[in-house]
Amino acid sequence: MASDNKFMVRTRTPFLGFPGISKDDFDYGVYATEDIEIAEIVVRLSGNWIVEPSRTSIQIGERHLESSTGGYVNHHCDPNCVVLCNLVDLTLTERLVPIDVKIKGSLTSMMISNPKPVLVAIKPILKDEEITFDYNTTESNLANPFKCNCHGNWIRGKAHRFQE
Ligand SMILES: [Zn+2]
Protein backbone atom coordinates (compact mmCIF):
# COMPACT_ATOMS: atom_id res chain seq x y z
CA MET A 1 0.00 0.00 0.00
CA ALA A 2 1.41 3.37 -0.96
CA SER A 3 1.92 5.53 2.09
CA ASP A 4 2.70 8.81 0.37
CA ASN A 5 -0.12 11.29 0.65
CA LYS A 6 -1.52 12.64 -2.58
CA PHE A 7 -2.74 15.87 -1.00
CA MET A 8 -1.50 18.99 0.72
CA VAL A 9 -3.16 21.65 2.86
CA ARG A 10 -2.60 25.13 1.52
CA THR A 11 -4.24 28.52 1.23
CA ARG A 12 -6.60 29.00 -1.70
CA THR A 13 -4.73 32.15 -2.66
CA PRO A 14 -1.02 32.73 -2.04
CA PHE A 15 -0.12 34.29 1.28
CA LEU A 16 1.55 37.57 0.38
CA GLY A 17 2.57 38.68 3.83
CA PHE A 18 1.00 42.15 3.84
CA PRO A 19 1.35 43.96 7.17
CA GLY A 20 -1.75 43.55 9.27
CA ILE A 21 -2.93 40.48 7.38
CA SER A 22 -2.39 37.25 9.19
CA LYS A 23 -2.44 33.78 7.73
CA ASP A 24 -5.66 33.22 9.67
CA ASP A 25 -7.39 35.61 7.28
CA PHE A 26 -6.84 33.24 4.37
CA ASP A 27 -9.05 30.40 3.31
CA TYR A 28 -7.37 27.06 3.49
CA GLY A 29 -8.17 24.01 1.42
CA VAL A 30 -6.85 20.55 0.68
CA TYR A 31 -5.43 20.06 -2.80
CA ALA A 32 -4.41 17.03 -4.82
CA THR A 33 -0.66 16.84 -5.39
CA GLU A 34 -1.05 14.26 -8.13
CA ASP A 35 -3.81 12.72 -10.23
CA ILE A 36 -6.18 10.53 -8.23
CA GLU A 37 -8.36 7.76 -9.64
CA ILE A 38 -12.02 7.25 -8.92
CA ALA A 39 -12.65 5.04 -5.83
CA GLU A 40 -9.19 5.73 -4.47
CA ILE A 41 -8.82 6.56 -0.76
CA VAL A 42 -7.58 10.16 -0.84
CA VAL A 43 -7.31 11.12 2.84
CA ARG A 44 -7.32 8.82 5.87
CA LEU A 45 -8.99 11.01 8.49
CA SER A 46 -7.57 10.66 11.96
CA GLY A 47 -7.86 12.80 15.04
CA ASN A 48 -9.82 13.11 18.24
CA TRP A 49 -13.42 12.06 18.76
CA ILE A 50 -15.46 14.82 20.37
CA VAL A 51 -19.03 14.96 21.66
CA GLU A 52 -20.22 18.30 20.35
CA PRO A 53 -19.60 19.33 16.74
CA SER A 54 -17.17 22.16 16.10
CA ARG A 55 -16.68 24.36 13.06
CA THR A 56 -14.10 21.93 11.69
CA SER A 57 -15.27 18.52 12.95
CA ILE A 58 -16.74 15.81 10.72
CA GLN A 59 -19.71 13.82 11.97
CA ILE A 60 -19.38 10.05 11.73
CA GLY A 61 -22.59 8.43 12.92
CA GLU A 62 -23.21 9.85 16.36
CA ARG A 63 -19.67 11.02 16.92
CA HIS A 64 -17.60 13.92 15.66
CA LEU A 65 -14.04 13.67 14.48
CA GLU A 66 -11.70 16.62 14.91
CA SER A 67 -9.17 15.82 12.22
CA SER A 68 -6.22 18.07 11.46
CA THR A 69 -6.46 17.46 7.72
CA GLY A 70 -10.21 16.89 7.57
CA GLY A 71 -10.84 20.26 9.15
CA TYR A 72 -9.37 21.92 6.07
CA VAL A 73 -11.46 20.05 3.50
CA ASN A 74 -14.02 22.49 2.13
CA HIS A 75 -17.64 21.87 1.26
CA HIS A 76 -18.88 21.48 -2.29
CA CYS A 77 -22.42 20.64 -3.40
CA ASP A 78 -20.99 18.66 -6.34
CA PRO A 79 -17.91 17.28 -4.59
CA ASN A 80 -15.15 14.99 -5.82
CA CYS A 81 -15.01 12.95 -2.61
CA VAL A 82 -17.32 11.28 -0.16
CA VAL A 83 -16.70 10.33 3.49
CA LEU A 84 -16.88 6.59 4.12
CA CYS A 85 -15.73 4.34 6.93
CA ASN A 86 -12.96 1.88 6.37
CA LEU A 87 -13.31 -1.26 8.42
CA VAL A 88 -11.55 -4.57 8.50
CA ASP A 89 -13.94 -7.49 8.29
CA LEU A 90 -13.52 -10.98 9.72
CA THR A 91 -11.47 -12.05 6.72
CA LEU A 92 -9.14 -9.09 7.37
CA THR A 93 -10.30 -7.43 4.18
CA GLU A 94 -10.66 -3.65 4.18
CA ARG A 95 -14.19 -2.60 3.30
CA LEU A 96 -15.61 0.85 2.71
CA VAL A 97 -19.05 1.30 4.22
CA PRO A 98 -21.37 4.28 4.58
CA ILE A 99 -20.80 6.35 7.72
CA ASP A 100 -24.39 6.02 8.86
CA VAL A 101 -24.71 2.23 8.88
CA LYS A 102 -26.35 1.40 12.17
CA ILE A 103 -25.58 -2.27 12.45
CA LYS A 104 -26.24 -3.80 15.83
CA GLY A 105 -24.70 -7.07 16.95
CA SER A 106 -21.68 -8.12 18.90
CA LEU A 107 -19.16 -8.93 16.20
CA THR A 108 -20.18 -6.19 13.87
CA SER A 109 -20.31 -3.53 16.53
CA MET A 110 -16.85 -4.58 17.66
CA MET A 111 -15.64 -4.17 14.12
CA ILE A 112 -17.22 -0.77 13.63
CA SER A 113 -16.58 0.50 17.14
CA ASN A 114 -13.32 1.92 15.89
CA PRO A 115 -14.28 3.26 12.48
CA LYS A 116 -11.56 4.68 10.30
CA PRO A 117 -13.16 7.48 8.31
CA VAL A 118 -11.68 8.13 4.89
CA LEU A 119 -12.29 10.49 2.00
CA VAL A 120 -12.80 8.48 -1.18
CA ALA A 121 -12.72 9.91 -4.71
CA ILE A 122 -16.05 9.69 -6.52
CA LYS A 123 -14.61 11.38 -9.60
CA PRO A 124 -11.18 11.34 -11.16
CA ILE A 125 -9.26 14.20 -9.50
CA LEU A 126 -6.50 16.07 -11.27
CA LYS A 127 -3.32 17.36 -9.69
CA ASP A 128 -3.89 20.80 -8.05
CA GLU A 129 -7.66 20.28 -7.91
CA GLU A 130 -9.25 21.02 -4.55
CA ILE A 131 -10.50 18.03 -2.53
CA THR A 132 -14.10 18.57 -1.40
CA PHE A 133 -17.06 16.72 0.07
CA ASP A 134 -20.70 17.63 0.74
CA TYR A 135 -21.07 18.68 4.40
CA ASN A 136 -24.78 17.90 4.15
CA THR A 137 -23.92 14.19 3.78
CA THR A 138 -22.16 13.99 7.14
CA GLU A 139 -23.43 16.68 9.51
CA SER A 140 -26.83 16.60 11.17
CA ASN A 141 -26.51 20.19 12.32
CA LEU A 142 -23.61 22.32 11.23
CA ALA A 143 -22.00 24.22 14.10
CA ASN A 144 -21.44 27.09 11.64
CA PRO A 145 -24.07 27.08 8.88
CA PHE A 146 -23.07 29.02 5.76
CA LYS A 147 -24.22 29.85 2.26
CA CYS A 148 -22.37 27.81 -0.34
CA ASN A 149 -20.40 29.50 -3.10
CA CYS A 150 -21.90 27.58 -6.02
CA HIS A 151 -25.59 28.46 -5.80
CA GLY A 152 -25.98 30.29 -2.52
CA ASN A 153 -27.97 27.59 -0.75
CA TRP A 154 -27.73 27.39 3.02
CA ILE A 155 -25.63 24.45 4.15
CA ARG A 156 -27.02 23.50 7.54
CA GLY A 157 -26.83 19.71 7.73
CA LYS A 158 -29.02 16.66 7.20
CA ALA A 159 -31.56 17.68 9.83
CA HIS A 160 -32.48 20.65 7.63
CA ARG A 161 -32.53 18.81 4.30
CA PHE A 162 -36.19 19.41 3.59
CA GLN A 163 -36.25 23.03 4.67
CA GLU A 164 -35.65 25.84 2.28
ZN1 LIG B 1 -23.58 24.72 -3.36
Model pLDDT, residue 1: 46
Model pLDDT, residue 21: 63
Q: Which residues surround ligand 1, an ion (CB under 5 A)?
A: 77, 148, 150-151
Model pLDDT, residue 73: 96
Span from the CA of 78 to the centroid of ligand 1 (angstroms): 7
**42 vs 51: CA distance, rounded Å:** 26
Span from the CA of 132 to the centroid of ligand 1 (angstroms): 11
Span from the CA of 79 to the centroid of ligand 1 (angstroms): 9
Counted domains in the chain? 1
Model pLDDT, residue 76: 95
Span from the CA of 148 to the centroid of ligand 1 (angstroms): 4
CB count within 10 Å of CB 39 equals 11
Span from the CA of 65 to the centroid of ligand 1 (angstroms): 23
Span from the CA of 151 to the centroid of ligand 1 (angstroms): 5
Model pLDDT, residue 90: 76
Q: Determine the structural domain holding residue 25 and report its residue range.
A: 4-160
Span from the CA of 133 to the centroid of ligand 1 (angstroms): 11
Model pLDDT, residue 100: 75
Q: Which residues of the chain have pLDDT under 50?
A: 1-2, 103-105, 110
Span from the CA of 76 to the centroid of ligand 1 (angstroms): 6
Span from the CA of 56 to the centroid of ligand 1 (angstroms): 18
pLDDT digits (tens, 9 = 90+) for 53-88: 999 999 988 889 999 999 999 999 999 999 999 887
Predicted TM-score (pTM) of the model is: 0.84
Model pLDDT, residue 140: 93
Q: Give the residue among 41, 48, 75 at the shortest CA–CA distance from 63.
A: 48
The CATH code of the domain that includes 12 is 2.170.270.10
Model pLDDT, residue 16: 62
DSSP secondary structure letters along 24-82: GGSPEEEEESS-B-TT-EEEE--EEEESS--SS-EEETTEEEEETTGGGPEE-SS-SEE
